[in-house]
Structure 1
Amino acid sequence: MQTKPLGKSDLTLSEVGLGCWQLGGDFGPISADTVAEIVDTALAEGITFFDTADVYGGGESERYLGEHLGNRDPKPVIATKYGRGDGSYPDGYSLTHMRDSVKRAQDRLKTDALDLLQLHCVPTEVVRRGEIFDWLRTIQQEGHIRYFGASVETVEEGLICAEHDDLTSLQVIFNIFRQKLLDELLPRAEDKNIGVIVRLPLASGMLSGKFTEKTQFAESDHRNFNRDGDAFNVGETFAGIPFETGVKLVRELEKKVPEGYTMAQMAMRWLLDQPAVTSIIPGASSAQQVRENAAVSGLKPLPDELHEELYDFYQHQVQQHIRGAY
């Protein structure tokens, strides 16, 4: 497993991390034994970066990570988030509310200071006003957090956040289906030495190549209830592409997969080839998925010609289908 420094911080992340949304049960029921197997396998595969949020399973994802990783030595890096919980989104933000939320996260994660606190897709106008960054600095100075970053939904939000010189990281939706970030945001992050954490590297599993038009998801799975953005930003589900359209596009992409790679491995290797990317955080519903994801770190970079083909594919066959804020 290769590692990279996160921006200007002293944190070092495995370039393949583990997205922990599903550990809270938000993708459908998940047993404690399965959760334990997923996390143990991640550690065995050299994954040292875990990304969660206070709202994943109402705090269950954080709580589990705290119980399972809190006493590890060396301790993995755990990033969490603030900004989508009850009482905050969309207009209940305050220093007091943030501090109280962070203290609860500290308790669940069993830590004196959070490694990385990320704003969790707060509204654009809140990011633009900027006072929320002053609150982050205050709780950092108080010792509750070591570093802060922002998880954003759009290029515009990312660029606004990047104006703050002490921003450690940006978490973004970025994959073969959503390449707009290559034009301005990722070069800006590189220029300012801001770490880039990629969520939804497989577009909610679409880029795994395992879905068909008949695939069904659990009632509580966002891939079932948020296909059209009924619950939150549609870009968080299948990268904002209609499900049936995405399945057809993946069939075309499969023709480009190099020998020795799976569809999912090509999609994730494409991300790791981007110089601005620090770590990708695919989720996993089984230990086998964790192993397959982790193996991508050891694969050779994709040929330049394939990168050009995939950008052309995005421009001419994909981008017109993307819906929602981008």
Structure 2
Amino acid sequence: MMPAHLPPVPPAYCGSPVGGRIRSPDAAAVGTTAALRAQGMSAIGIGCARIGSLSSAQSTETAQAMFELAAARGITLFDTAGIYGGGTSEQVVGRHANRHDGVFVMTKIGRHQSVVGRLAHSLKRWTKPLMGARARGVARAVRQGNIQTDFSPLALQLATQAAQRRLGGARINALLLHSPPAEILAQPATLQVLQSFKIHGSADWVGVSCDDLATLRVAAAAPAVDMVQMPLPLYQEGARQGVVDRLIEQNVAILLRGVLRDRGGSTPRDALLAAGGLPGVSSVIVGVSSPDHLREIL
């Protein structure tokens, strides 16, 4: 059976986001990583950015086959976002979670496509089968140029509701802000709305996907944050600057991504094992494009 979800934080725990670190009871008792494991989060996760993307040749059927293989290998963590594939990624992850017990769904909010980007995604059903590798590269550039952000409390609340609809009723186990600027994350209103998602039961865990050291520093000092996701080079920089030590001291779970990009002569499996063994790391997320790709990595 699927592990029981942690209860929302009771009102007695809900002081000001700057007053003290807030933890679910299980996390306080056994540590965040152990509590996440008990809820079903695997040490290796699948990054789902390519699912439904115009720039990827992967079909949703291929993604489903990859998910089935992942389940057979004990992988339960699936990292998605509302912006991935114009929402298709969340839909596919939601279908998988609704078919299998123990799936740990992580999604991200705060970024969205412009009108141009949304129009391109609405047409992808007809255009994607006709696109070659070069055309997909152009589509990727267009997509990146049409990404917008909105981390206002209302926008984040609406984005969470939209994610719940796309996931088709699957539980949001972890809800992360998607690469917010440090100055936005540091605003009390941002931290309060992030905290509220856990308090009111929209997600079991909340956190931040970080792209730079400034944002990572703010996340390490924010009581509302249960977990941070970051690329391996940022982890290494954060370790040199003492930020990783602060995260560990504050019992914040660390999730790494991008660990296979600069692995030198290491095999993919050795690179994953090495990253997973770094201090404070709870899980390593790897982007996978097909079942064969997953077999090569594992």
TM-score normalised over the length of structure 1:
0.66
Q: Residue 180 of structure 1: CA displacement? A: 1.5
* Alignment equivalent of 1:79, drawn from 100, 106, 115: 106
Q: What do the CA deviations read for 1:188-220 (whole angstroms, capped 9, x no partner)?
A: 1111110011111112xx54xxxxxxxxxxxxx
Q: Is 1:7–1:194's contact at 8 Å kept on the other side of the alignment?
A: no
Q: What does 1:197-236 align with in structure 2 at a 5 Å threshold? A: 197-203=255-261, 207=263
Aligned pair partner of 1:187 in 203, 220, 245: 245
Please list the CA deviations of residues 36-68 of structure 1 after superposition, one character each: whole Å capped at 9, or x if unmatched. Answer: 111111111000101000000110000011112
Pick aligned residue for 1:121 from 157, 179, 188:
179
Which SS does the other structure have where 1:13 is aligned?
coil
Deviates more, 1:38-47 or 1:91-100: 91-100
Choose which of 72, 76, 81 in structure 2 pairs with 1:48. Answer: 76
Residues 1:59 and 2:116 aligned together: no
Distance 1:281 1:106 in 2: 22
Matches of 1:90 and 1:7, distance apart in 2 = 35
Alignment of 1:115-264 (within 5 A): 115-175=173-233, 179-183=236-240, 184-203=242-261, 207=263, 253-254=264-265, 257=266, 262=267, 264=268
Question: How many Å apart are 1:181 and its aligned residue?
Answer: 2.5
Cα pair distance change 1:90/1:29, threshold 3 Å: closer
- Aligned partners of 2:228 and 2:54: how far apart in 1? 23
**Alignment-mate amino acid for residue 138 of structure 1:** S
Counterpart residue type for residue 282 of structure 2: T
Between the aligned partners of 1:139 and 1:273, the Cα distance in structure 2 is: 30
Q: Does structure 2 retain, via aligned residues, the 8 Å contact 1:6–1:168?
A: no
1:30 to 58, 66, 69: 58
Residue correspondences, number: 234
The Cα shift of 1:70 comes to: 1.7
Q: Is the 8 A contact 2:111 2:149 kept in 1?
A: no
Q: Which one of the candidate residues 33, 39, 49 is aligned to 1:21? A: 49
Query: How many Å separate the matches in 2 of 1:28 and 1:118?
Result: 24
In the aligned structure 2, how far is the partner of 1:172 from the partner of 1:281? 10
Percent identical? 26
Unaligned runs of 5+ in 2: 1-30, 115-146
**Residue 267 of structure 1 aligns to a residue in which SS?**
helix
How far, CA to CA, are the matches of 2:279 and 2:40 in structure 1? 16
SS of structure 2 residue aligned to 1:285: coil
Letter in 2 for 1:22: R
Root mean square deviation, CA, Å = 2.4
- Note the residue ranges of structure 1 that are not aligned, 5 or more in a row: 208-252, 296-326
CA distance in structure 1 between the aligned counterparts of 2:68 and 2:150, rounded to whole angstroms: 37
**Are residue 276 (structure 1) and residue 277 (structure 2) matched?**
no
Query: Counterparts of 1:84 and 1:172 in 2: how far apart (Å)?
Result: 16
Q: Verify the 8 A CA contact 1:116 1:148 in the aligned structure 2.
A: yes
